Structure 1
Amino acid sequence: MKFEIKRLIGFSIAAGILLAGYSFRSANAVNTKPVLEKAPNILIIMADDMGYSDIGCYGSEIATPNLDQLAASGIRFRQFYNGARCCPTRASLLTGLYPHQAGIGHMTNDPEDSTAYQYNLPGYQGSLNNKCVTIAEVLKTRGYQTMMSGKWHVGYHDRQKWPLQRGFDKYYGILAGAANYFNPTGLRGLTLMNEPVKPKGKDFYLTDALTDHAIDFLNENHQQTKAPFFMYLAYTSPHWPLNALQDDVKKYRGKYKNGWKALRKERYNRMIKMGILKPEAELSADDAADWDKLSPEKQDEMDFRMALYAAQIDRMDQNIGRVVKALTASGELDNTLILFLSDNGACAEGGDLGGGLTENLGTKKGYMLSYGQSWANVSNTPFKKYKHWVNEGGISTPLIAYWPKMIPKASQGKFSDQYGFLPDIMATVVAASGAKYPLAYKGQSIIPMEGKSILPILQGKELPVHHQPIFWEHEGNSAVRMGNLKLVCEYHEGRPKKWELYDLDKDRSELHDLSASMPEQVSKLSKAYNEWASRAGVVPFDEIKKIQASRHK
């Protein structure tokens, strides 16, 4: 794939010099007059349950040439964080708040159970509340066309919580958290605008269909309105079930028969060589079954599971290439800010060797088909833990930022060591578009956004994004980061918090606990965490579990 990147010499842009859907090219040179420019388009692409090292430009053997090209012409962040789980991440991404502030401190409700996680607690209502605004709602005030294709997962049963009721002009996708890729029907079926629709054609595949509709929406906007657009393209790939197309699977079948330990070491060495990890970075302990003790038949099955997983990522990358090609054809690519990230770390659900019936592998059947913790340990190289936890393996995501009109030539293909997290995306979008984040919306006071803009980094300024602590809490797993220090605690039911302290500049894999030697920092950061938890509406997870148990008796 070739990108036709037109560099505008002398172009620079800063937040605060944008007008009503248009922006000014700033006059840095003598006798240069400002030139009116169309406001930037914004495209956010999210993968689902994909680990830190699962794409080529972050060290993977999986073929992702389109993402690799975006990275080669953009900036990769070594230290960007998500929210450890599907729907809390999506709530935080869309609103610029911590997930509890937006109403999704745990999970949203499952289609099969309308009472799930409805705790009558402000931070745990299971859908976006009216104290937040979405990126779509903010950008519509600047004349943007707002479109979404993909997984919603921030409010299911109440139609007022659906995409069109939260600022999007157009929507296609699944409202729930997961679906069969070949036949997403029933409670986990497809929605177009506000109406249920059926999969079209015998060759239906969800990743392709999400892209088809995204491109249709983009082309319609270009032809009919020519307004700047915001597109949120939320793929379900590579979230289970392991549903992949045969031609894609063939590329990988048999490539994983050396097992997870060997592959993890290969990725680790490649990541150091590529500069993703520092040379002194350590590899966390293997957290997998013993490959050599598996029968030949079981080894073949596990090769198949990983091949299916890899094929899902490969197909997603192919589809991202289709979107970029469509933007190139319409002349919109140069003026589009593209952000790619994953919603949490790799998923260890299904046990060491994965879940679901072996006989369903490679078919169009199955729902809870997963590749298991042993392969997830590879996906999260070099970190420990997984989705659900707030160690680096649970919250670290690749972040690729691509924007030809903003990123200087000298910065293209580089890494940033500045750390950021999901609420920064709202702040960045507001800064880039010139929109104003509201104090109130539809008569309701709105919680101030929590993030900071990464726009200076995209302008080539390697400056710290955060000067105050940032926080995580999911299912009682807790963390706070300030500078190079991270305080983290793994939840154990009925036990008091046991904080661990790590210097991430020297120990990104969280192997050397400094809590005993730096008690003053533990005290300072834990106090900051407790103050944040109180203001953000975090409830101790032991209490949440008691409420949950009482509701399901």
Structure 2
Amino acid sequence: MEPGARGYEGFRGRVGEFASDSEPSWSPRAAPGDDAPNIVVMLIDDLGFSDLGPFGGEIETPHIDGLADGGWVFTNYRTAPMCSPARAALMTGLNPHRAGFGFVAHIDPGYPGYACELPAAAPTLAESLRAGGYATFMVGKWHLTLESRLHDGADRSSWPLQRGFDRYYGAMDGFTSLHHPHRLVQDNSVVDMPEYPDGFFLTDELTDRAIGMIDELRVNDRRKPFFLYYAHTSVHGPIQAKDVDIDKYKGHYERGWNALREERFARQQARGIVPAHAMLPEDPIADGDRIPDWDGLEPAERELFARHMEVYAAAVDEIDQSVGRLLTRLEELGERENTIIVIASDNGGTAEGGPTGTRSYFSQFGLHGGVPDGWVTDVPRDIADIGGPRLFGQYPTGWARMSNTPFRSFKSSTYEGGVHAPLVVSWPAGAHAPGLRDQFVFVSDLAPTLLELAGVDRPARWNGVAAPEIDGGSIAEILADPAAPGREQQYFECIGRRAMIEGDWKAVSPVAPSPAEGASGGSWELYHLASDPTERVDRADEHPERVRDLAERWRQEAWRNTVFPLDDDGTLHTVRPSTEALLSEPVRLVPFRPPLERYRSARLTVLRSFEVQAELELGAGAAGVIVAHGDQGGGYLLALEGGELQLSYNAYGAMRRCRVPGPGAGRHSVALSVRADVGLRWSFAVVVDGVERIRMDDLPMLVGMAPFTGISVGHDYGGPVDWELYERYRSFRFRDGRILALDYVPGERSPEDPTVLRAIDLEMRDLVD
């Protein structure tokens, strides 16, 4: 196929049709009738291939097991290596880069394949179904809007309601705390919930909301079919769970990751999830250099690492509980039989916790430039707090390898561990031939399949222009016929890591090529997946011509799918549009409102000096939070308590506090001055009426995704910065006084900030001229 050509040759048949010459088992309808199925798509974040019971896991998932027993279990399903690209492909039926998501929605370099916005001309699955007469609901993680357009003054054209959903409730960012979410959005507005009630847990809340949306529809319309997209925020980090569920798994993981990985593999082979001839990859190709030897660990280390996995298992268990609650409600409504349920992961399990895991998630997450020597990536804390609201954790690499059994590598990799994911489909009314399916299916196939089964046509034109031809193809025939063929090929790319599957062969290039090597150059490995599904034996030296052919095929697909430019020098992460400069201008904040959105707040503070200027009018008993930014993952807070002024600094879980006598009654100026020093350090000074009263030097700078909860004034919104203050006063609303004004004034950027604000719009105009 020539670069730039449309269509997709990977299916044996035209795109959008079955991969065989047989007639469809389900005929399309012009509009949904009384027999139109409901559709539920449940996407789980960062779930490994083997974590669910049907795929060999020991975690209790009885409700998902039940769906698998009467439905279809796909053993050869692949997705994108990261979450936003997978979600974009799921929503549009396009390949990730053509859907605008060559990476997660935290970059904006100005290239079509990395726009991090769904194309306006491509109708989403929700838009197609709504146009076909469906009610459309979503709860959970969106992560398909540029982070610079998540704030309350942003253009909402890429928010869920504007992309086809009638109702939405969840976290639009990439993840959040499950105990104290940093920001929840209902429909188009931020949820004003300054204090979460005791026992609040987001997975339960999302399930309540999902059931509520269905109930409210049924009260008013008994026949209208619905589409529910339930995108779990679990089990993405920070991995958290409820105590009652964590307790269920105490002692389950004391034997270590290697023993349990082998047990999962044995169950997979016994169930036919992986072929009998498959073998577990061994070190060193199985990341042994990143995984400590369990038998050589100290008892305290084993206890710590086992706790991390107990929490992860509890989180997966809680996802299954949400499935059970939803199924129960559908049964009560008499709608379970004619509801299609799809359960999948968006990518492979992640190794971002590092060899020993972390209790300080943000100390190493989202850092693209590395950290200085001596940087603490796991602040020591009571292991009983792992999973709870006081701690943001992530499990160690050894457990991630177990999650991805039997494959090698992890999320963001183009090896099978990054892209080979679980997929279960259930539809009792349409289950003509349930069971295992080993056909190659890709995430972009799901949208056309669901439209096919619903009898709804994808609009040929959208927003006044021709809709781009989809890349996926319906797999409805595979559901009906275990012998029906699947797709033949698919390209993969993430951060310059490349792969190409064609038939039984897969070429993998695990690192980006240099500019001199060219698009199809660099180092390529070759695996014969039919005989070696776990990529153990590199056969590139045996078949150099096949390697060249697959590399060239990848290059052609890359041109067609707007993959270029590859991120071979890091500029895709550092270049952003000059329009974002507006987000770094000084701002006056209003007391007692929901916090300034995360990214908007970050433009004022992260990797730079800044000053907070407050004008206060205090009564004799003035007390409460003046300003707070962050949460238990990292942040800072200035408050009055008991006649004293306190500065709290939470360095990814390590607390520093300083208290001095506070200003008396009357009007006062209070300034928090923060200086960015070399080595990713900050110095804090609090100046009251022109006199320095507090100073903290040599603080680890909060960088990457921290502070995560945005800036709040007059209270500490949501997840607290200082847990001790929270235990005494909860959000500690400011009282007996007034915050007359509070301004953030950004200062000089840190010399370690690599960001380049480029006038991309002007450069593109020059190219066109």
* Deviation of 1:493 (Å): 6.5
Q: Look up the match of 2:394.
A: 370
Q: Which amino acid aligns with 1:213?
A: R
Which of the residues 169, 184, 188 maps onto 1:190? Answer: 184
Q: Secondary structure at the match of 2:545?
A: helix
Equivalence map 1:476-487=2 (5 Å): 476-487=496-507
| CA distance in 1 between partners of 2:575 and 2:323 (Å) | 45
Deviates more, 1:218-227 or 1:92-101: 218-227
| CA distance in 1 between partners of 2:178 and 2:413 (Å) | 27
Higher strand residue share:
2
Q: Secondary structure at the match of 2:246?
A: helix
1:47-96 per-position Cα deviation (integer Å, ceiling 9, x unaligned): 11110000111101100000000000101011001111111111111111
Equivalence map 1:15-34=2 (5 Å): 15-22=26-33
Q: Look up the match of 2:338.
A: 335
Q: Is the 8 A contact 1:479 1:488 kept in 2?
A: yes
1:443 and 2:439 aligned? no
Give unmatched runs, 5+ long, in structure 2: 1-22, 150-154, 361-378, 577-754, 757-769
Deviates more, 1:193-202 or 1:207-216: 193-202
Q: Which amino acid aligns with 2:53?
A: G
Q: Which amino acid aligns with 1:381?
A: T
Equivalence map 1:382-401=2 (5 Å): 382-401=406-425
Higher helix residue share:
1
Q: Look up the match of 1:7.
A: none
Q: Look up the match of 2:59.
A: 62
| CA distance in 2 between partners of 1:307 and 1:166 (Å) | 37
Q: Is the 8 A contact 2:414 2:508 kept in 1?
A: yes
Structure-2-length-normalised TM-score: 0.65
Q: Secondary structure at the match of 2:571?
A: helix
| CA distance in 1 between partners of 2:211 and 2:302 (Å) | 40
Equivalence map 1:137-152=2 (5 Å): 137-152=127-142
Which of the residues 322, 327, 350 maps onto 2:325? Answer: 322
Q: Secondary structure at the match of 1:212?
A: helix
Q: Look up the match of 1:133.
A: 123
* Deviation of 1:291 (Å): 1.2
Q: Is the 8 A contact 1:347 1:372 kept in 2?
A: no
Q: Which amino acid aligns with 2:471?
A: E
| CA distance in 2 between partners of 1:70 and 1:13 (Å) | 24
Q: Which amino acid aligns with 2:77?
A: F
- CA 1:118–1:297 in structure 2 vs 1: closer, same or farther (change >3 Å)? same
Aligned length: 513
Q: Look up the match of 1:49.
A: 46
Q: Is the 8 A contact 1:172 1:192 kept in 2?
A: yes
Which of the residues 404, 410, 413 maps onto 2:428? Answer: 404
Equivalence map 1:237-252=2 (5 Å): 237-252=234-249
Give unmatched runs, 5+ long, in structure 1: 1-11, 23-36, 110-116
Q: Greater RCO between the two (CA within 8 Å, min separation 6)?
A: 1
* Deviation of 1:203 (Å): 1.4
* Deviation of 1:435 (Å): 1.7
| CA distance in 2 between partners of 1:549 and 1:501 (Å) | 32
1:156-204 per-position Cα deviation (integer Å, ceiling 9, x unaligned): 414211100000000000000011100002xxx1111111113753211
Q: Secondary structure at the match of 1:181?
A: coil
Q: Which amino acid aligns with 2:551?
A: S
Q: Secondary structure at the match of 1:354?
A: coil
- CA 1:543–1:430 in structure 2 vs 1: closer, same or farther (change >3 Å)? same
Q: Is the 8 A contact 2:512 2:566 kept in 1?
A: no
Deviates more, 1:190-199 or 1:143-152: 190-199
| CA distance in 2 between partners of 1:70 and 1:303 (Å) | 29
| CA distance in 1 between partners of 2:144 and 2:565 (Å) | 22
Q: Look up the match of 1:27.
A: none
Which of the residues 253, 256, 267 maps onto 1:256? Answer: 253
1:380 and 2:395 aligned? no
Q: Which amino acid aligns with 2:550?
A: L
Q: Which amino acid aligns with 2:535?
A: E
* Deviation of 1:362 (Å): 3.9
Q: Secondary structure at the match of 1:130?
A: coil
Structure-1-length-normalised TM-score: 0.90
Q: Secondary structure at the match of 2:448?
A: helix
| CA distance in 2 between partners of 1:358 and 1:459 (Å) | 54
Q: Which amino acid aligns with 2:527?
A: Y
- CA 1:542–1:490 in structure 2 vs 1: closer, same or farther (change >3 Å)? same
1:243-269 per-position Cα deviation (integer Å, ceiling 9, x unaligned): 111110111112111111111111111
1:449-481 per-position Cα deviation (integer Å, ceiling 9, x unaligned): 1111111121234211224x2111111111121
Q: Is the 8 A contact 2:495 2:512 kept in 1?
A: no
1:307-326 per-position Cα deviation (integer Å, ceiling 9, x unaligned): 00000000110111000111
- CA 1:491–1:339 in structure 2 vs 1: closer, same or farther (change >3 Å)? same
| CA distance in 1 between partners of 2:133 and 2:211 (Å) | 20
Deviates more, 1:238-247 or 1:454-463: 454-463
Q: Secondary structure at the match of 2:350?
A: coil
| CA distance in 1 between partners of 2:25 and 2:159 (Å) | 33
Deviates more, 1:490-499 or 1:289-298: 490-499
- CA 1:200–1:458 in structure 2 vs 1: closer, same or farther (change >3 Å)? farther
1:498-524 per-position Cα deviation (integer Å, ceiling 9, x unaligned): 221211111110011222222332232
| CA distance in 2 between partners of 1:345 and 1:362 (Å) | 21
| CA distance in 2 between partners of 1:550 and 1:381 (Å) | 37
Q: Secondary structure at the match of 2:492?
A: strand
Q: Look up the match of 1:208.
A: 204
Q: Look up the match of 1:454.
A: 475
Q: Which amino acid aligns with 2:111?
A: L
Q: Look up the match of 1:511.
A: 536
* Deviation of 1:548 (Å): 3.1
Percent of residue pairs bearing the same amino acid type: 37
Q: Look up the match of 1:549.
A: 574
Equivalence map 1:462-501=2 (5 Å): 462-467=483-488, 469-492=489-512, 494=514, 496-501=521-526
Q: Look up the match of 2:347.
A: 344
Q: Secondary structure at the match of 1:370?
A: coil
Q: Is the 8 A contact 1:407 1:460 kept in 2?
A: no
1:39 and 2:36 aligned? yes
Q: Which amino acid aligns with 1:279?
A: A
Which of the residues 81, 97, 102 maps onto 1:100? Answer: 97
- CA 1:13–1:281 in structure 2 vs 1: closer, same or farther (change >3 Å)? same
Q: Which amino acid aligns with 2:243?
A: Q
- CA 1:162–1:550 in structure 2 vs 1: closer, same or farther (change >3 Å)? closer
Q: Look up the match of 1:123.
A: 113
What is the aligned-residue RMSD (CA, Å)?
Answer: 1.7
| CA distance in 1 between partners of 2:98 and 2:41 (Å) | 22
* Deviation of 1:547 (Å): 4.6
Which of the residues 273, 276, 295 maps onto 1:276? Answer: 273
Q: Look up the match of 1:290.
A: 293
* Deviation of 1:358 (Å): 4.4
1:221-275 per-position Cα deviation (integer Å, ceiling 9, x unaligned): 2221231111100111111112111110111112111111111111111111122
- CA 1:358–1:241 in structure 2 vs 1: closer, same or farther (change >3 Å)? farther
- CA 1:512–1:543 in structure 2 vs 1: closer, same or farther (change >3 Å)? closer
Q: Is the 8 A contact 2:180 2:196 kept in 1?
A: no
Q: Is the 8 A contact 1:180 1:366 kept in 2?
A: no
Q: Look up the match of 2:440.
A: 419
Q: Which amino acid aligns with 1:445?
A: A
* Deviation of 1:145 (Å): 0.4
1:507-542 per-position Cα deviation (integer Å, ceiling 9, x unaligned): 110011222222332232222211111111112434
| CA distance in 2 between partners of 1:276 and 1:16 (Å) | 31
Q: Look up the match of 2:647.
A: none
| CA distance in 1 between partners of 2:345 and 2:573 (Å) | 28
Q: Is the 8 A contact 2:169 2:209 kept in 1?
A: yes
Q: Which runs of 4+ in 1 moved over 4 A?
A: none
